[in-house]
Amino acid sequence: MRESWQERFAETPDVLLGERRQRTIVPVLDFAVGGDEFVTMAGPCSVETERQLMDTAYHVRSAGARVLRGGAFKPRTSPYAFHGLGLEGLKLLAKAREATGLAVVTEVISECDVEMVAEYADILQIGSRSMENYTLLEAAARSGRSILLKRGMMATIADYLRSAQVILSNGNPHVILCERGIRTFETAMRNTFDAAGIALLKEVTHLPVIADPSHASGHRDLVPALARIGVAAGADGLLVEVHPDPDKAWSDGEQSLDFAEFDAMIDDLAPWIALREHSWGRRNTAEARALEAIG
Ligand code: PEP
Ligand code: MN
């Protein structure tokens, strides 16, 4: 007999979209992720200067973003690369939120920093390299902040669901999943974007899922296409790197969009997002009827 997804992922029951389980909607400031609104999170890879962050924040807000991204603590492959401004970066993010009304998502890389980062961020980002750091996941869960959990670059869907389960079973239901590409034999792109993974996560879990076309591709010219694919696969939002002058960025410049490229991408996505809203409405009506029927 064919194994159902529920049987296949039975080890992580709390994340599964069961018969009686409604989809999770993660509240953030005055909006929500996982509801009818498609949520764009955008900003630089790293917080560099006040000017860089403020200019980017005002710009992405004017294009319709709801969340400002920016790393203050950067996990980097090279020990000699820029590792972030730390507390100073967090303070700049809070200042940008104050000025623009955007929510802030930023990465926490150590359980020792969870309390400090949670003081400044609306959403705690757990990065790809930290996905299986259960001590960090537990500390982040207990902070009570919403959590953006990125998929590990070498993680299977089952591994990924285990990490989400750790957060939920530590009492925090507000988890947003994020597909950011995985490592495969293909080396032309930084990672391989797992669009089927997005579709599967939407099928088997009740959690919101967003797409990160920046880390998934590693090349700015591929970012708009991957964003489109993310929307078509059923993503609830995007996490995109945007920089005023990508060639001078202190990290991930090659995959960051400049302001004009970001605007063009958002414009091009509009019809795809409209289609998504159409099927979102249909799916929700069907799910609500099914829930009603079982009472
Ligand atoms: C980031 O968002 O800048 C980042 C470091 O992402 P990832 O953990 O997906 O590599
Ligand atoms: Mn980055």
Q: What is the pLDDT of residues 47-89, one digit of tens each?
A: 999 999 999 999 999 999 999 999 999 988 788 889 999 999 9
Checking 247-253 for CB contacts under 8 A at 24+ apart, the result is 249/44, 249/45, 249/46, 249/48, 250/45, 250/46, 250/48, 250/82, 251/45, 251/46, 251/71, 251/74, 251/76, 251/81, 251/82, 252/45, 252/46, 252/214, 252/215, 253/45
pLDDT score of 295: 64
Instruction: Tell me if 71 CB under 6 Å of ligand 1.
Output: yes
Instruction: Tell me if 61 CB under 6 Å of ligand 1.
Output: no
Name the pTM for this structure.
0.96
Nearest atom in ligand 1 to the alpha carbon of residue 178 is 9
253 Cα to the center of ligand 2, angstroms: 8
pLDDT score of 219: 98
284 Cα to the center of ligand 1, angstroms: 31
pLDDT, one tens digit per residue, over 209-262 is 999 999 999 999 999 999 999 999 999 999 999 999 999 999 999 999 999 999
Higher pLDDT, 21 or 69: 69
Q: Quote the CA–CA distance of 196 and 223 in Å, as a whole number.
A: 17
Q: In the block, which residue shows the tokens 């710009």? A: 59
CA 174 to centroid of chain Cα atoms: 12
